[in-house]
Structure 1
Amino acid sequence: MEQEDTVVLYPAPGIGHIVSMVELAKLLQTHSYSIIILLSTGFLDHPSVDAYVHRISTSHPYISFHRLPHIAPTTTTTVSFAAKGFNFIKRNTPNVATTLAKISKSTSTTIKAFITDLFCFSVTETTSSMGIPVYYFFASGAAGLAIVSYFPKLHEETNVSFKDMVGVEVRVPGNAPLKAVNMPQPMLDRDDSAYWDMLYLGTHLGEASGVVVNTFPELEPLAVNAVAGGACFADAKEAPPVFYIGPLIAEPQLSDVTTESKQCLSWLDQQPSRSVVYLCFGSRGSFSVSQLREIANGLEKSGHSFLWVVKRPTQDEKTKQIHDTTTTTTTMDFDLSSVLPSGFIERTKDRGLVVSSWAPQVEVLSRGSVAAFVSHCGWNSVLEGVVAGVPMVAWPLYAEQHVNMHVMVGEMKVAVAVEQREEDGFVSGEEVEKRVREVMESEEIRERSLKLKEMALAAVGEFGSSKTALANLVQSWTTHV
């Protein structure tokens, strides 16, 4: 029996990480590899993941999914969300090792490479011992990779947690100066185990056979050059090969959009060209009721049409994300009219549409009526905005989103940033109104957004940088002994 060349992928939990890795799988499939994707179960599960996996399995027969046994996440309240995530991933390591061993022993399969999400680094020791080349996949951009690589040096320069360094700026090669308190969340607190996990990752990054990144050099030249020049690594000779193969974004989900989503797209199709501001803050981003009301006031006073995705509000002013994603958040969970200003929906019904929980974002951004995108700066959303050529308002909430915001505003020049209150990130209605007006009226940002869209399409085109990087990645497996 002829052996089948297989690549095994292991995404971090959460729909955003899974989607971008599946897009990578589709590209690898075009190089005649069969793909097995390992999925953990028990952390950041959501009904949408099952529906998504079913759709991909049906439409792409060479991509198969293997569910790892269920593991209950730790329930302790004394560690951060990121620490719980790392702990969950570590506890999955034996299951990953067992599964890889089983695939390796199959007489019909040869594993050419194992590509694991950067945050699943705890499995690399086990997989390396099997003689399988291990690559990291980084679902964010080059600026974020530069910070991860440089983190061991930052750690040596201070003995204070970044969260306590108010008024201090951190400087990382390839990045704009960043407030210490806005460092990526897992790096903020030395008393949290996630900090030490990130330090281990940064220290051992060079041990991977390579790093695959969801960006393209023309999008982030400063960070790409800093990483390539070795400036981000303690020893430039230990820097791993980096393959920039983005933008990887989800395909339009026209086959299974809900009735509410169809109504939302139909509403957009009835609006004038470039007239609508779209507001959405990712799969987990959310706000307190008081912040939602400020956004509503700002939108109403801006005078512009809007499509706004509102998630179940958080209870705490400082919390900007929903951690429990195990249930489908629907209008049954909260009453939209009760969390927005009295009469707001009625007063704005001729120019605004508020939907609860979710909208088909790729499809929304492709509509000609959408003129601007107010985003939490999650990397998938950034890339979706870039590929659609839509100007953005950057409103970072958590993770590495402040890093992304600086790239969007300072380097890409496709966004304006909201000014957030130092102590809790609160944004006033006046600020929302100001930034919405600014991005809607800026021809310069619009022209730059369209130019970046062309660059993104060129990168994945026949002779583009991403296409070439992917070919080089695949070539590295054929030469591996």
Structure 2
Amino acid sequence: HLVSVIELAKFISQLNPRLSITTLLMPSPLGPSPASAHTETVASTAPNVRFVHLPPVELTVNLQNAQPETLVSLCVERYKPLVSDHLRSLCASTKVSAFVIDLFCTTMIDVAAQLNIPTYVFFTSGAYLLSLLLHLPKLDAMISTEFVECTTNITIPGMPSLPPHDLLMPLKDRKNDAYRWMLYHSRKLHEIKGFLVNTFDDLQPRLADAVPQLVAGDGAGPTVLPVGPLLALDTNKGSDHECIQWLDDQPDGSVVFLCFGSLGALPDNQLREVARGLELSGQRFLWSARSRPPPGEMIQWRDANLEEVLPDGFLERTRDRGLVWPTWVPQVAILSHRSVGGFVSHCGWNSTLESVWFGVPLIAWPLFAEQRMNAFELVNDLGLAVGLKKESVEEDAFVRAEELERAVRQLMEGEEGEM
């Protein structure tokens, strides 16, 4: 969520340069963020934005067995005393007008309340997930079984109903601590002053009407402000990358780009199947292919050994129309390039907003978190993506080469490729 938070700080500072913005940053228990270096750039260009790096805290939970939602929530809970001290110090020297928190920081509402500071949630995902989370306490009371056992779609007031298997991961096992934490955060959302949501009305017009229906209590209800798209859109970053130089030699709108985010990676057998699907499609492609980490490691990004992972002879057979890159690529510079005509994406919210911003249609391949919800909305409600049929409804379900071939051809050759 760090990139979006930084962009929000920049956005507010540009709206009113007289405001002073202090951003408290906690080290993630999941490992360093690739976006961390972005704070230094912003600090040097926006003098009224200050970043405070809080020291690490010790966690007693088993890192290998806990879900990410549990780890992050427990970590934030441990930071309550430090955040309280910083807020009190700020209040002693200046007027603190608002306290803006992330979804996983709702425990800090209590800290701000003690100081009579109004709290707002900056919601880095879209309106669909926010509406589901606001409705979750009622769903928890109304449905006694596991949500995934429901035989009908999950109803969300003001939003499209959702197939149970497309719920975000921590809601699929109500016995897990991750579910209990999500329920806790959902209940705390009903205590805040307002929502700043990283979306915009033309993309998700239901937001303003849906939230008042979902928030408990009387009165005017919380403020709901769509403030998006908040994106780091420096298209010059990475402009000298070898991938960009390769794209320069391709025809306009001819390349399908495959990338699964900073934390996304496919198992080796799926990487081989993707290669087969791309070869069958006959389309030009640029593919950021990364491997899964060894079991037990929390960090998700790992460079792929292409010669070991990909089918024999694949790189040679496709060298005239494809480029496989085994590590990080400059996604914004790629999506903004004239030769890119389609994007196979994990449907993370930042990537979704970037694809919409640059007018690049999608093939939806969600991996985890709320990505299946995003994919369902993009395919079935907004019509901005081509869906992929997986072998099962499981999170890590296999996608056959022939199915990827179908989707790529449909996107690059059919009407779906027009946004």
User: Does 1:41 find its partner at 2:27?
Assistant: yes
State the Cα distance separating 1:159 from its structure 2 match.
2.1
User: Does 1:438 find its partner at 2:410?
Assistant: yes
Q: Whole-Å Cα distance in 1 between the matches of residues 322 and 44 of structure 2?
A: 37
Matches within 5 A, 1:105-254: 105-106=92-93, 109-163=94-148, 165=149, 168-228=152-212, 230=213, 232-235=214-217, 237=219, 239-252=221-234, 254=236
User: Does 1:100 find its partner at 2:70?
Assistant: no
Q: Whole-Å Cα distance in 1 between the matches of residues 90 and 96 of structure 2?
A: 8
Does the 8 A contact of 2:154 with 2:162 survive in 1? Answer: yes
- The letter of the residue matching 1:426 is F
Does the 8 A contact of 1:143 with 1:174 survive in 2? Answer: no
User: Does 1:75 find its partner at 2:62?
Assistant: yes
User: Does 1:54 find its partner at 2:40?
Assistant: yes
Change (3 A) 1:219 1:275: same
Matches within 5 A, 1:389-408: 389-408=359-378
Q: Whole-Å Cα distance in 2 between the matches of residues 222 and 208 of structure 1?
A: 20
- The letter of the residue matching 1:83 is T
User: Does 1:311 find its partner at 2:290?
Assistant: yes
Q: Whole-Å Cα distance in 1 between the matches of residues 33 and 210 of structure 2?
A: 40
Does the 8 A contact of 1:247 with 1:383 survive in 2? Answer: yes
Aligned partner of 1:280 among 235, 241, 259: 259
Does the 8 A contact of 1:206 with 1:238 survive in 2? Answer: no
* Structure 2 match to 1:350: 320
Deviation by residue 1:175-208 (Cα, 9 ceiling, x = unmatched): 3332323211222222222212222222232211
Q: Whole-Å Cα distance in 1 between the matches of residues 67 and 416 of structure 2?
A: 41
Q: Which runs of 5+ in 1 are unaligned?
A: 1-16, 450-481
* Structure 2 match to 1:417: 387
Identity %, equivalent residues: 39
Change (3 A) 1:420 1:222: farther
Matches within 5 A, 1:444-455: 445-446=417-418, 449=419
State the Cα distance separating 1:233 from its structure 2 match.
3.5
Partner secondary structure for residue 434 of structure 1: helix
State the Cα distance separating 1:131 from its structure 2 match.
1.4
State the Cα distance separating 1:324 from its structure 2 match.
1.4
Q: Whole-Å Cα distance in 2 between the matches of residues 306 and 236 of structure 1?
A: 54
Q: Whole-Å Cα distance in 1 between the matches of residues 389 and 294 of structure 2?
A: 22
Partner secondary structure for residue 124 of structure 1: helix
Deviation by residue 1:428-460 (Cα, 9 ceiling, x = unmatched): 1111110011111233551xx2xxxxxxxxxxx
Q: Whole-Å Cα distance in 1 between the matches of residues 81 and 313 of structure 2?
A: 55
Q: Whole-Å Cα distance in 2 between the matches of residues 203 and 46 of structure 1?
A: 29
Does the 8 A contact of 2:410 with 2:417 survive in 1? Answer: no
Does the 8 A contact of 1:289 with 1:314 survive in 2? Answer: no
Q: Whole-Å Cα distance in 2 between the matches of residues 55 and 45 of structure 1?
A: 21
* Structure 2 match to 1:470: none
Partner secondary structure for residue 36 of structure 1: strand
- TM norm structure 1: 0.81
Q: Which runs of 5+ in 2 are unaligned?
A: none
Does the 8 A contact of 1:312 with 1:357 survive in 2? Answer: no
Aligned partner of 1:337 among 292, 300, 307: 307
Aligned partner of 1:323 among 294, 298, 301: 298
The more displaced of 235-244 and 153-162 is 235-244
State the Cα distance separating 1:253 from its structure 2 match.
6.0
Deviation by residue 1:200-236 (Cα, 9 ceiling, x = unmatched): 22223221110110001221124543224x1x34446
Change (3 A) 1:116 1:175: same
Change (3 A) 1:159 1:78: farther
Partner secondary structure for residue 34 of structure 2: helix
- The letter of the residue matching 2:226 is Y
